[in-house]
Structure 1
């Protein structure tokens, strides 16, 4: 009866796989983070900046007061 040889494929399998998958994972993560930053975050910040350049809080407050949104603030006509 002869002994079966050990399978060489399993030896250091994790290290061989990590040599490929670890840098690939970091690279993909970095690419996705940059894509989110410049595809979603920066346009959103610019949209908010554009909105608040023309936003007048006092005018908005007076419009809501006249519409009766607030219970504790009377419209200026009363």
Structure 2
């Protein structure tokens, strides 16, 4: 009698049904992580580089390093 009260477990297509759910979940989580990285890391880094190179003078930087004695081939004056 007790076996009639319990529903039969699903044995067919169980993996396919669970896989569909997990594939959609993994897809949305990966899209979310990519968006967080793009807007949280990549874009601020691009802005920082653009701001740095906006007023960067490589000759002034070279002269400062030369005066500090960083280069062996260019003696300080």
TM-score (norm 1): 0.81
* Structure 2: gaps (5+ residues): 1-7
Give the aligned partner of residue 49 of structure 2. 48
Q: State the shift of 1:54 in Å.
A: 1.4
- Aligned-partner Cα distance in 1 for 2:11–2:56: 65
RMSD: 1.3
Q: Find runs of 4+ consecutive structure 1 residues off by over 2 angstroms.
A: 7-11
Gaps of 5+ in 1: 1-6
Q: Which residue of 2 aligns with 1:63?
A: 64
SS at match of 1:9: coil
TM norm structure 2 = 0.82
What is the aligned partner in structure 2 of residue 25 from structure 1?
A: 26
Corresponding residue pairs, total: 70
Find the residue that maps to 2:75 and give its secondary structure: coil
**d(CA) in 1 for partners of 2:33, 2:57:** 37
